Amino acid sequence: MTQSTFKRLLLGITGGIATYKAAELVRLLVRQGVEVQVVMTQAACQFITPVTMQALSGRPVFTDLWDNRIDNGMAHIEFTRDVDAILIAPASADFLAKLAQGRADDLLSTLCLARACPLMVAPAMNVHMWKNAATQRNLALLKKDGALIFGPGSGEQACGDEGFGRMLDPEVLLEALEASQQPKLLAGKKLLITAGPTFEAIDAARGITNLSSGKMGYAIARAALEMGAEVTLISGQTSQIPPYGANLIKVTSAQQMLTAVMANLVSKDVFIAVAAVADYYVLNPSEQKIKKDAHILTLELAPNPDILANVMNLPDPPFCAGFAAESENLIEYAEHKRRRKNLPLLAANLIQDAFGGDDSELVLLDDKGAHPLPRAPKIILARQLLRHLARMLPKKPKD
């Protein structure tokens, strides 16, 4: 699992059904190497016990302003001294109101008032509580005061109602937390990204594909969203979960991918071709499943279109970046490909690194030379690649 950019978080849990999600949230944060200090309101303790949160966070949980376990008796100040942020998840309607008013009548609200760090809030409540003018007023005040608000999501609620008010699921909330920490280097930019393998049908059940997992393309889409870009992700068949906020278009074959790319290029600032596109397709695929017999079966293959070349050859192409996976002579072959395709930026990796794994190693090639990115999780490499790319972009976005 990728390390978090946060070192220490204070997690405030308030009273609502979604406290059960806070338990999973703590587990995931701890797995990402974050020290989590949990503080709960009295109402939160009605829903989930401090013991559960203590077991998951590995630290005593505090609930009381008058707790004397801290030497100087001032937990409400001590706990905020060296945390990167306070995250309230779930945040009840009542607690949003308290925060908006700057009240300090229990440990958690006093901590929030005494803090010198960012405040992040993940609201969770019934849809009517959420829509209530008072809640929306409190929320607007909190935003104005600089708090970051994550969610809520929409869907079926514990009370049987349907609509906005669900706390974001822990994984999605973690993604949003990380995203909030990334520099918005691609704000206002529109990116088109291809990812995953293509599949070229042989018959109704079989086809030619490759080992691309889609992880790198999806990581780049996620990193681009984190940096403030608008992202369209055209993907071959993968089991990856699309990043929250991406416009996902699913395709199967190389020809479908080309059609989708060309149809979605309008006003894009950047095109990044990460997909492992099959070089060949089967000329006459059978509509029915081919029956096995004793004869040798010959497939006739024809070359697929080169999607990146099609985009590069447009009269006014977006900024284009490609990927090259080689099994040997990485830099030499990849740089040859970059020059042949006249690409400003190409990311090269070895086949054994490129497919399937969560980690990889990249070399970025541009007119200034080779820039190696050492082995790291793909999301980290994706952020590094996009930081490099952002520096190469023309200043003015396309209309």
Helix or strand holding residue 350 (H, E): strand 345-350
Q: Single out the segment in contact with ligand FMN by CB under 6 A; choices: 8-16, 31-39, 213-221, 233-241.
A: 8-16
Dmax (CA) of the chain: 86
How near is the Cβ of 92 to ligand FMN at its closest, in Å?
3
Under DSSP, is residue 379 helix (H, G, I), strand (E, B) or coil? Answer: helix
| 139 touches ligand FMN by CB under 6 A | no
Q: Is 159 a catalytic residue?
A: yes
Cβ closer to ligand FMN: 17 or 172?
Answer: 17
Among 112, 117, 159, 320, the active-site one is: 159
| 15 touches ligand FMN by CB under 6 A | yes
Helices (H), ranges, 182-227: 215-226
191-222 as b/e: b if 16+ CB within 10 A: bbbbbbbbbbbbeeeebbbbebbbbbbbbbbb
How near is the Cβ of 310 to ligand FMN at its closest, in Å?
51
Count of C-beta atoms within a 10 Å radius of residue 302: 10
| 124 touches ligand FMN by CB under 6 A | yes
How near is the Cβ of 245 to ligand FMN at its closest, in Å?
25
Cβ closer to ligand FMN: 46 or 313?
Answer: 46
| 135 touches ligand FMN by CB under 6 A | no
Q: How many residues bind ligand FMN (CB under 6 A)?
A: 15
Identity of the residue numbered 281: Y
Helices (H), ranges, the chain: 19-31, 44-47, 50-57, 75-78, 93-101, 107-114, 127-131, 133-144, 170-181, 215-226, 254-263, 307-312, 330-341, 351-354, 378-392
Taking CB positions, which residue lies at the least distance from ligand FMN?
16
How near is the Cβ of 281 to ligand FMN at its closest, in Å?
53
Q: What angle do CA 26, 181, 361 make, to 5 degrees?
A: 90
How near is the Cβ of 249 to ligand FMN at its closest, in Å?
36
Q: What angle do CA 289, 290, 291 make, to 5 degrees?
A: 110
Interface positions, 328-347, toward ligand FMN (CB under 6 A): none
Task: Tell the residue number behind the tokens 């990043």, with chain if given.
Answer: 243
Q: What angle do CA 273, 275, 279 make, to 5 degrees?
A: 105
Q: Single out the segment in contact with ligand FMN by CB under 6 A; choices: 3-11, 41-49, 245-253, 286-294.
A: 41-49
Cβ closer to ligand FMN: 88 or 208?
Answer: 88
Query: CB–CB of 360/341 below 8 Å?
Result: no
How near is the Cβ of 116 to ligand FMN at its closest, in Å?
23
Mask for 80-119, x = binds ligand FMN (CB under 6 A)? ------------xxxx------------------------
Residues with a catalytic annotation lie at 159
What does the binding site for ligand FMN look like in residue numbers (CB under 6 A)? Answer: 14-18, 41, 43-44, 92-95, 124-125, 129
